[in-house]
Amino acid sequence: MVDRDTSDPRRDERDNALTDWATERDVDLDTLSDGQRWVIFAALQFLTFVGPVPPLRRFVPYFLSHCGLDLPALVVAAVVGQTDRAVRKTRQFKPREFWKRMQEARRGHPRAKLSSQDVGRVAKFLAEHKRCSVAEMLTFVKETFGVDMDRLTLRRFLKRYGLGCLWKDRIRNTPLLSAALSTAAPSP
């Protein structure tokens, strides 16, 4: 075994860097073993080196989650700047699935399942089927547009385009185009 010197410069560099990081991220270093501290230090150095390269940054939480050191999700989240929920979700993927997701990663939000061009057909369906159930509405969307969506996504779509008034006849005796919105009487 190698006799360890208490004034090891690498250990001092690690301890200083981790202390600064821990105070900034509100992490308790006392709960971590020496091996866990070295891996976290290496991950922080790696993240500094790769900078803003997204695929490499996305790999770090997966590696830390499966490195065999039982790092807590909160600590991994603090290292990579994500939420602990995102880290826990990343942990669940098998390697092949994680790799596939990394290859298919897109920037920003996913494309909307239904667009503004689809509002007319949805409004017509709702006007013709005022008492339809949510399941019937979801079936219509799937058959017409070839889109699988859940109840919440459908609700957001209806709210975004103001179609809630057509849903289950919530506003009774209101024409599709309100009298308040119509123009004045036609001029002679």
Summarize pLDDT for 49-77 with one digit per residue, the tens.
998 888 888 889 999 999 999 999 999 99
- Tell me the C-alpha distance between 158 and 153, whole Å: 9
Chain segment 73-82, per-residue pLDDT in tens: 999 999 998 8
pLDDT band of residue 179 (cuts 50, 70, 90) is very low
- Tell me the C-alpha distance between 25 and 75, whole Å: 9
If you search the block for the tokens 């017509």, which residue do you land on?
124
Chain segment 72-127, per-residue pLDDT in tens: 999 999 999 888 898 998 899 999 998 888 887 766 667 778 888 888 999 898 88
More confident residue, 57 or 177: 57
If you search the block for the tokens 């490499």, which residue do you land on?
56
- Tell me the C-alpha distance between 39 and 100, whole Å: 25
CA distances in angstroms from 65 to 17, 25, 99, 149, listed in the order given: 21, 18, 15, 31
pLDDT at site 161: 85
Q: What is the mean pLDDT of residues 118-144?
A: 88
- Tell me the C-alpha distance between 39 and 67, whole Å: 9
pLDDT band of residue 45 (cuts 50, 70, 90) is very high
Chain segment 4-39, per-residue pLDDT in tens: 556 689 899 999 999 999 999 888 989 999 999 999
- The region of weakest confidence among 106-110, 131-135, 155-159 is 106-110
Q: Show me where the domains of the chain are located.
A: 10-103, 116-169
Angle between helices 119-128 and 134-145 (to 10 degrees): 140
Total residue length of the chain: 188
Tokens of 184: 């004045």
Cα 110 from chain centroid (whole Å): 10
SS3 187: coil
- Give φ, ψ of 81 to 5 degrees: 75, 35
User: Is residue 136 predicted with pLDDT exceeding 60?
Assistant: yes
pLDDT band of residue 174 (cuts 50, 70, 90) is very low
If you search the block for the tokens 């390269």, which residue do you land on?
53
User: Is residue 164 predicted with pLDDT exceeding 50?
Assistant: yes
